[in-house]
Structure 1
Amino acid sequence: MRAKYSGDYFPTESAWWRDVHEACQSDGENWFDAGSNKLVRMGNSTSFWHEDWTGSGSFRSKFFRLYHLSKLKWSTVNECGNWVNGAWQWNLKWRRPLLGREQLWAECLMSDLAGIRLVEDSFDRWSWLVSGDGIYSVHSAYLFLQGSNSLAPDQVFSAVWKSLAPSKVKAFAWRILLDRIASKENLLKRRVLVVHDQATCSFCSAHLESCWHLLFSCPVSNHLWQLGANWLGMDLISASSPREHFTQFKVGRNSTQRRASLSVWLATVWTLWLGRNSIVFRSTQFNHEEALDLVKRHSWSWIKANIKGFCYSLYDWYANPLSCIQSL
């Protein structure tokens, strides 16, 4: 509804929607916006330039000059490209040829788009981050407003320390949530690195290596998250922080199921970090198939070692992890 009626995305604004939106304001923030997120599938109802559909800000705000040069200012995501032999190809159109610096901005934009995987013939939909199933309910909204929801920071940290991962992985996840890992951005802030050019991402070499970019929004890491989500049979929702990203993996009917599902998140960030260090210190190449295999093996071994009654083999875990988790 927001995309349909709000003037943020389209030239006209509904007074009715503006009133509804203002009714959701609490302490200067909009609680409904904080608890909801759009899951972009084929991009049929998502504004390419105006919505934050990648989780790292709207392209209008990030590439303001390119936005004004675009012929597709009010186009949806799926109007900015086409399907060719089952593969999506972007086709952005400009009012004139791009000049030198504008071409660099366009390359950065295409780098941001490189990790996006659209799904043909699958409609966009909104997801309610507060509930594990992504479905809005009055009860979950009430708990969210009361502060007793799964997004509370203290509960996120508690979930990390009560997880099934080894202590070193728990400590690493804790530092991720506090943005205290030794990313190149943090090393630059501490003057361990003195040249900005030395602080580019170890995976893509196109952006500053912040914690968020390295482990979540980089095309390389984002592709691993997509592979893991496909393996789990879940829809990965765009997030704006590591805490939001972590929370969507905390799913299940009971605490045992939630701890098991969180093992996949922990195994993924740990695998990405090890892969990054291997690139930095041993000049290796990151292989997504090998990385996904490590995620599966790590998560299975942690669950197997810590949950009594988990009798599934590694083969069972590879074949149907969701069924293994739901049986707990």
Structure 2
Amino acid sequence: MVRPLMNSHLEGVCDKEIHYLLFFSSLSTKAAIEKGLLKGVEVGEDKVLVSHLQYADDTIFFGEWNRLNTLNLRNILKCFELSSGLKVNFQKSCLYGVGVDFSDASRMARHIGCQVEGDNLHSPPIGIWNNIIAAGVAMDEIQVPFTHSFIKTIGDGGSTSFWQEHWIGSDKLCNLFPRLYRLELNQNASVKDRCCKLNDELTTSWNWSRIPSGRTYDELHRLVELFNTLECNNNNSDTWRWAFVSSGVFTVKKLTVILDEQILGQYTSPQNTFRNNLVPKKVEIFIWRALKGRLPVKIELDKRGIDLHSVRCPLCDNDLESVEHTLISCKCVEDIWCRIYKWWNVGSFVPSNISDVLGEDNPPSTTKFGGRLWQAIKWISAYLIWKNRNNLMLDLV
């Protein structure tokens, strides 16, 4: 079943009107579904019916792809305009046809007077799909193979294309067996149409333009051998699994952890210099920038051709403002470091280079956890010194 998505945009809506919109759209959409005038989308194994999602001043409607369903949705929005006195800006609203030919989506959009967006199945990727694809490619480039991390798990095979989707082997079957693909009369056939495995017994059904022979027959033999690796559950529908976790369930949190480990791990020394789970992520990133000399201190800004009134330290005004001076050797912060070193009884603080102060983690005669705690205290102290410096800069503006 192909499903459209419409994003409806309101202009000049205040808080009271938003509450009215939430009440009206929920009530009217529910009534339309009960009377069969609007068909939503069933999601998940429990077949939860989803008809709309609402945000601050935007509403997204979901439903079956047919002209009557879309025109009924437009009529509901027109009723909202008449009853509320507000205006739905159809020209800024978008119609998305998932798995729909772009020309068909364009015709439907003209009927209701809104914009149209394509999808990545039948048209060049634009809009939101373009951003998703670009993000996936960017992750691939940093050695996180996101675009190939989703694997099709075959159930009854009814929703998986036999030839045009990667569901078995090393690639799509149309690429692995091009001669057979050219003989296929129905190149859009599903897995269920072509093969079924029940109690380890394989049943196949073909629809060739002619009987395979020669090299084509060899391809058919290799294809049938490939089915020996097939595992399916005819009682369930086809599903997607995320290869990065054993459960197969995609979560943004897990992806964030993977990206953090990959990005920050590229700059991690054998002593795990830039990672410490006792501090917030923003502190880890700050320390990485500091040790790489990538903080926007005045010296660095001056190197990049930014015209500044002065490149002297805003804290002490006695030296040029570099990363090392600001965080370590400035007279205004040196007393802070002396007190911290005295507090931990690790000897006297001697200003040196920034790597010696922020890079080390184990003070003399301490446990491994104590070393990480000592490192965390220094990192957070440096972060707070930098925040204080920024606050002072803002006060001087």
- Higher-helix-fraction structure: 1
TM-score range for the pair, normalised by the shorter chain length: 0.3 to 0.5
Taking structure 2 as the reference length, the TM-score comes to 0.32
Taking structure 1 as the reference length, the TM-score comes to 0.38
- Higher-strand-fraction structure: 2
Structure label with greater radius of gyration: 2
Determine which structure has greater relative contact order: mean sequence separation of CA pairs < 8 Å that are 6+ residues apart, divided by chain length: 1
